């Protein structure tokens, strides 16, 4: 059985760093391999995981459409073939597998930029099936989403067991988290559990923030303290997944993950 954990939140709240801490927890405590999917167009999950990134799903999609246009010009589109006789399905299968970046017990796929002008429905459908097929080989899938989740169902047809909405400890941040959480009702996939995490909290959570959290249609999972060590690693562009095991941020995420994974 594959367990899917999706993270969402407005830009700048640190959801990519939290994604790295979730992956670190799974590596250290859970058996089985992990697939990280970077569904944010900015595509920087690879940096916090210490991996390179040469090829995204967006690159593959655009390259295939370019080849299809070449095939139409050459009169080969009727058979659904690309130059050289390769089918579109075989091309996407090969390229997506080639785009997987391999780490230590985890792999990474980056979705890249959203669609440009033109019709992408058939290509997106095929890509979704390819990614879902790849996903069956993993125990856990961790998806770092863009600010909203409108396009999550375009990325995968898999249901989400745990949605982690990340917010800063402000009223504005919580309003944004509430809007993001509401989007889950409109997706073509089911979200089983939805939580909110407060990130970069400087001390105690203010009572006004606690009161606002109580109004949300989200389960409060906990808060993550502001941390100088992690901030400095991010400034230097270091892989934050390598942060020390006794780091307060990692310990906070570990405790939260124990509550939902076990």
| Run of H or E residues at 38 | strand 34-39
**pLDDT surpassing 80 at residue 126:** no
pLDDT above 70: residue 120: no
Kindly state the average pLDDT of the residues 97-105. Answer: 91
Q: Which domains occur in the chain, in start order?
A: 3-50+106-115+138-261 (3.40.50.300)
**What's the pLDDT at 197?**
98
Residue 106: per-residue pLDDT: 96
Asked if the model's pLDDT at residue 78 lies above 50, the reply is no
Give the global pTM. 0.89
147-204 confidence digits (pLDDT tens)? 766 656 665 656 899 999 999 999 999 999 999 888 888 877 889 999 999 999 999 9
What six digits make up the tokens of 151? Answer: 């396009």
CB-CB contact of 126 with 154 (8 Å): no
For residue 196, list its beta bridge partners. 165, 220
pLDDT in tens, 215-246: 999 999 999 999 999 999 988 989 999 999 99
Average pLDDT over residues 24-47: 92
Cα–Cα distance for residue pair 59/80, rounded to 1 Å: 20
What rounded mean pLDDT belongs to the chain? 86
Q: pLDDT band for 207, please (50, 70, 90 cuts).
A: very high
Is the confidence at residue 81, as pLDDT, over 60? no
Length of the chain: 262
**Which pLDDT score is estimated for 35?**
95
In the predicted model, is pLDDT for residue 79 greater than 80?
no
pLDDT tier at 91, thresholds 50, 70, 90:
confident
Confidence of residue 144 (pLDDT cuts 50, 70, 90): very high
Q: What is the mean pLDDT of residues 1-7?
A: 92
Q: What is the mean pLDDT of residues 61-88?
A: 65
Three-state DSSP state, 131:
helix
Write down the pLDDT at residue 129.
78
Over the range 188-208, which residues count as b (16 or more CB within 10 Å of their CB) and which as e?
A: ebebeebbbbbbbbeeeeeee
* Position 249 pLDDT exceeds 90: yes
Average pLDDT over residues 115-137: 71
Residues forming beta bridges with residue 163, ordered by sequence position: 6, 194
Least confident of 5-14, 34-43, 79-88: 79-88
């Amino acid at each position: 059985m594959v367990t899917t954990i999706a993270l969402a939140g407005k830009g700048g709240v640190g959801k990519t760093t939290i994604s790295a801490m979730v992956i670190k927890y799974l590596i250290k405590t859970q058996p089985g391999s992990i697939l990280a999917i970077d569904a944010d167009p900015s595509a920087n999950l690879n940096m916090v995981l210490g991996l390179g990134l040469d090829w995204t799903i967006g690159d593959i999609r655009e390259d295939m459409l370019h080849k299809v246009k070449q095939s139409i010009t050459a009169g080969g589109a009727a058979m659904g073939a690309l130059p050289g006789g390769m089918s579109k399905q075989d091309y996407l299968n090969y390229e997506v597998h080639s785009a997987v970046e391999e780490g230590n017990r985890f792999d990474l796929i980056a979705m890249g930029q959203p669609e440009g002008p033109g019709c992408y429905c058939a290509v997106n459908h095929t890509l979704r099936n390819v990614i879902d097929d790849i996903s069956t080989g993993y125990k856990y899938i961790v998806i770092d989403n863009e600010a909203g989740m409108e396009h999550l169902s375009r990325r995968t047809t898999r249901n989400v067991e745990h949605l982690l909405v990340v917010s800063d400890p402000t009223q504005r941040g919580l309003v944004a988290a509430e809007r993001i959480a509401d989007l889950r009702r409109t997706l073509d996939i089911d979200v089983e559990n939805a939580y909110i995490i407060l990130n970069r909290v400087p001390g105690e959570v203010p009572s006004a923030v606690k009161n606002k959290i109580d109004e949300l249609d989200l389960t409060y999972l906990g808060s993550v303290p502001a941390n100088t060590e992690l901030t400095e690693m991010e400034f230097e562009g270091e892989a934050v997944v390598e942060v020390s095991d006794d780091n307060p941020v990692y310990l906070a995420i570990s405790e939260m993950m124990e509550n939902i994974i076990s």
